[in-house]
Structure 1
Amino acid sequence: MPNANDNTSTPLSQVQHRAVAELLRVAPVADDLARRFQEAGFRLALVGGSVRDALLGRLGNDLDFTTDARPEDVLRIMRPWADSIWDVGIAFGTVGSQKGGYQIEVTTYRSEAYDRTSRKPEVAYGDSIEDDLVRRDFTVNAMAVALPEKEFIDPHNGLEDLAAQVLRTPGTPEESFSDDPLRMMRAARFAAQLDFDVAPEVVEAMKDMAGRIEIVSAERVREELNKLILSAHPRKGLALLVDSGLAAQVLPELPALRLESDEHHRHKDVYEHSLTVLEQAIALEGNGPDLVLRLAALLHDIGKPRTRRFESDGRVSFHHHEVVGAKMTKKRMTALKYSNELVKDVSRLVELHLRFHGYGSGEWTDSAVRRYVRDGGPLLDRLHKLTRSDCTTRNKRKAAALSRTYDGLEVRIAELKEQEELDAIRPDLDGNQIQKILGVGPGPVIGKAYAHLLELRLENGPMEEEAAIAALRSWWAAQNEQ
């Protein structure tokens, strides 16, 4: 295999050729597009993640290209060719398109730098691919294949680092992170996605420069955090965020767990427990990565540091940490600009994650089971998974007993659902019926009557219509006597 130090543009080795041949087999649009750029007098190359993933044998339908053509020229070349075009990233030199089922982005050679107070990069276009590659985040993302001639370009030994499964920066990490501090989070994210190690000098720079992340917008931080959490190995990336000090800047509730003792598992801290719960939740997902479940698993115990109490008998308690944790979750996720719906769902799961522990050995009444289902609502399946994941004891007998007990609760839920349609628990009379029976129009009293009938439904299960009408009239009479 040619040494990338000898030439920045070398013929493909046999291994590299197979990788690029596979890329072109699944994406023949690459050659077609390259010819169009060549005919217009410009150069085009596959770059970054597309080359990396082709070499790893995991190429998807997203293809990244780089070119010396300016954005207006890229638009002119691609408009008659692509199925659709979007230019939302054109201010940063990127034109997006769709062609035959592939998502394609073409970016003009560029360099980016932040000043000390800016949250947005300043974009400057370049004229050589070598200058473009040196500004990329990591060497494994700084490889390119020039098309249509298919020359492999690797000026920073990215192929060597790919083989060693290590993340390094093309230049010094200090320069790279100064240009774009978000690259520090990207190091953690790629470690989690690729299961790669981060070079020691990169980790040291992350520790020294962690505070620089504050100039990056919350939205960009959130997106990197999401990609990390949804990756195949999130523990690895999260541990790097904590160890480097970045988590203290963007998710301080996580490192705050590190020294807290869990009341059920004194031999391990809540931080390790939370990472284990996350991994166990992932194992239960079934239908692909679930951001709501993963965030809830990671954050479910963040209320413990604020609620820790040392009891007179030597125990450590965390009373109501689920309520405090739900409020903390809402505050942190709001600061990271998550959607209102996502904030609501994750906070609700954090609030409910201890509810099962009141179940004992199955002492709940049918009414209590109904309330559990109602409170879980559309999150009930996730609540099942979160609750099961929250058992990290090494005591196999205890773990088996908890699992059997939850099995029993799920059986009871299934039986009641079959009998009563628990997924849509509502009173036995609707609002229109209540108005007609009471002879009153819309107003607060209808809501109160509805709430009363809902409580009866939860407590006693379904009622026949006549019994529901009688209960409503009895409640109404009591209201009029007050």
Structure 2
Amino acid sequence: MEHQTALEHPIFKTIQQSAKKLDVQAFVIGGYVRDFLLQRGNAKDIDIVCVGSGIALAKEVAARLPGKQEVKFFKNFGTAMLHHQGIELEFVGARKESYDRNSRKPIVEDGSLEDDQNRRDFTINAMAFSLNPDSFGKLIDPFNGMHDLEQKTIRTPLAPGITYSDDPLRMMRAIRFATQLDFTIEKDSLQAITDHNHRIKIISKERIVDEVHKILASKKPSKGFALLYKTGLLPMIFPELDALRGIDEIDGQTHKDNFWHTLEVVDNIAQTTDNLWLRWAALLHDIGKAPTKRFDKKNGWTFHAHEFVGSKMVYKLFKRLKMPLNDKMKFVQKMVLMSSRPVILSEDHVTDSAVRRLVFDAGDFVEDLMTLCEADITTKNPKKQRRYLKNFKEVRRKIVEVEERDRIRNFQPPVSGEEIMKTFDLKPSREIGIIKEAIKEAILAGEIPNEYAAAKDFMLRQGIKIGLTPVSQ
């Protein structure tokens, strides 16, 4: 089957001419081919395999392109990378691989196109388009990947047990592709992931997290996390989420299954935001519920302080998975810590003071917090759902109203510490902090407006109250 429309970009002719000069065969392989056939738009990452030296082909292509082209070489892997007009081209020589049991790094030797296709992870990623003059655009599909695309199936070219045991990262990739493309993992392949799930331990945390990011960034992330659970990978990667599974019953009283609830929340938030870290917050917002779960006859099931406990667990989880312990982690912590605050406001009469405190504590992330809380509504009762959404709408209206009037977001006290020191002739001391805190609390409680004159007058009264004497008196 000819697919010349996939190769209309001038870069492919340049590669063809370069390959001809070097007397090697060249092919486009992998994701570019898959995404073209799925009509997902042409990928910006293009993998070129040649029966010969990938590095030599990359150098020849770079020499034929206008301007000075930088080629990055990875001699250990026999690969080269080239950027051109927003496209990332990776060149590699066709190879065959064998694996050591304790590593996913293969022993590599030169091979044919067939060898190279054999080593690919899935049939849908093993298809290639020829760039050779006599067969330009021809689809080479030895494992019937086209059929698997049509059937929406993830299947391995070789026996799945070999594929996953050789490189256990492919287990994560299978689940990620199934989630991204909304495909089904073929049953023998799914069983092989379950049988070899322990092999995930040889994979670096960074590689695993990279796949989790892609699962979280998909339209319906729950599919991926449900597959992690089904294959037994979940407790190895996310024991905190696995601990949320199940429903306990005492004296006829039950609680919801917080794992499946969490997946609903993640799917909900995926419909309203592409913010990866807010999706992480949705995934982790209830992890404190497993360690705080208690039952007593008076209150039934409780999860006291689960938000606080969960926010502490976020740090440990990020550290274990070698994720960034920077502002992104702190954002997720803050969202988890505050995840119930708007809910409490929406259930009661919303006071200005409570809204001011919410805006003060959430700062620039108050919108993100409201988005998370709205995603947290998973009730199947339409009447309850309407009521919750109406209440959150009222909280949002109050936030706008209070913010316009009181300017609490990123709050800076109207009276500075320097002015307090000057007014009462103080050196740096505890009293300055006491007065600043009192001014802040008075503004948040609505006792005084967030204005300089009112704050200065309050400062004087507060200072006198704790035994200080203004210099001017």
With the length of structure 1 as denominator, give the TM-score of the two structures. Answer: 0.88
Q: Are residues 1:413 and 2:402 paired?
A: no
Q: Which residue does 2:92 correspond to in 1?
A: 107
**What residue is the counterpart of 2:150 in the other structure?**
163
The letter of the residue matching 2:366 is: L
Shift of 1:267: 7.7
Match of 1:132 in 2: 116
- Can you list the C-alpha shifts for 1:401-454, whole angstroms capped at 9, x where unaligned? 111111111101111121122323221123444444344566766555444433
Is 1:61 paired with 2:47? no
Query: Is structure 2 residue 2 aligned with structure 1 residue 28?
Result: no
Distance verdict in 2 for CA 1:161–1:364, change over 3 Å: same
Amino acid at match of 2:50: T
Q: Secondary structure at the match of 2:379?
A: coil
Say if 1:126 and 1:132, in contact at 8 Å, map to a contact too: no
How far 1:183 sits from its partner (Å)?
0.3
Cα displacement (A) at 1:122: 3.5
What SS is found at the alignment partner of 2:158?
Answer: coil
Give the alignment of 1:214-363 within 5 angstroms: 214-260=201-247, 268-285=256-273, 289-313=274-298, 315-340=300-325, 341-363=327-349
* Matched-pair contact (CA < 8 Å) for 2:55–2:91: no
Give how far 1:112 is off. Answer: 4.8
Aligned partner of 1:76 among 59, 69, 72: 59
CA distance in 1, matches of 2:150, 2:404: 55
Give 1:210 deviation, angstroms: 0.6
Which of 402, 413, 435 aligns to 2:388? It is 402
Distance between the aligned counterparts of 1:406 and 1:155, measured in 2? 55
2:181 is matched with which residue? 194
Aligned-partner Cα distance in 1 for 2:330–2:453 = 38
2:344 is matched by which residue type in structure 1? Answer: G
Aligned match of 1:150: 137
How big is each residue's C-alpha offset from its partner over 1:123-147, in whole Å with a ceiling of 9 and x where there is no partner? 5142311111111110100011120
Structure 2 partner of 1:385: 371
How many Å separate the matches in 1 of 2:69 and 2:431? Answer: 55
Contact 1:92 1:123 in 2 (8 A): no
DSSP 3-state at the match of 1:171: coil
* Structure 1 residues 262 and 86, CA gap change in structure 2 (3 angstroms): farther
Residues 68-121 of structure 1: CA distance to partner in whole angstroms, max 9, x if unpaired? 343542442244345653537553333222212222222232345553434x51
CA–CA separation in structure 1 for the residues paired with 2:352 and 2:249: 31
Residue matched to 1:38: 20
Per-residue deviation at 1:386?
Answer: 0.9
Relative to 1, partners in 2 of residues 1:417 and 1:481: Cα closer, same or farther, differing over 3 Å?
A: closer
Distance 1:107 1:195 in 2: 30
Select 2:33's aligned residue among 26, 31, 51: 51
The CA RMSD measured in Å over matched residues stands at 2.6
Q: Is the 8 A contact 1:22 1:54 kept in 2?
A: no
Query: Would you say the 8 A contact 2:32–2:45 is kept in 1?
Result: yes
Unpaired stretches in structure 2, ≥5 consecutive residues: none
Whole-angstrom distance in 2 between the partners of 1:158 and 1:306:
46
- Share of identical aligned residues, percent? 35
| Aligned counterparts of 2:73 and 2:426: Cα–Cα separation in 1 | 55
User: CA shift at 1:188, angstroms?
Assistant: 0.5
Contact 2:342 2:370 in 1 (8 A): no
CA contact (8 A) 2:244 2:287 kept: yes
Letter in 1 for 2:91: V
Distance 2:386 2:97 in 1: 55
Q: Distance in 1 between matches of 2:449 and 2:224?
A: 49
User: How many residue pairs align between the two structures?
Assistant: 459
Instruction: Name stretches of at least 5 consecutive residues in structure 1 with no aligned partner.
Output: 1-11
Moved more, 93-102 or 73-82: 73-82
Q: Deviations over 1:304-355 (max 9, x none)?
A: 1211112214721111111122222221122112212222111211111111
Q: Cα gap change, 1:436/1:89 in structure 2, threshold over 3 Å: closer, same or farther?
A: farther
Residue of structure 2 in register with 1:365 after alignment: 351
C-alpha deviation, 1:479, in angstroms:
5.0
Could you say if the C-alpha distance between residues 154 and 292 of structure 1 is closer, same or farther in structure 2, counting changes exceeding 3 Å? same
CA 1:436–1:240: 2 relative to 1, 3 Å: same
Deviations 1:350-381 (A, max 9, x none): 11111123225442432211111122222211
Could you tell me which residue of structure 2 aligns to residue 173 of structure 1?
160
| Contact 1:71-1:95 within 8 A present in 2 as well | yes
2:102–2:202 Cα contact (<8 Å) kept? yes
Secondary structure of 1:259 counterpart:
coil
Tell me if structure 2 keeps the 8 A contact 1:85–1:95.
no
Decide whether the 8 Å contact of 1:334 with 1:343 is kept in 2: no
Q: Secondary structure at the match of 1:393?
A: coil
Q: Is the 8 A contact 2:219 2:270 kept in 1?
A: no
Distance 2:347 2:97 in 1: 60
Letter in 1 for 2:460: R
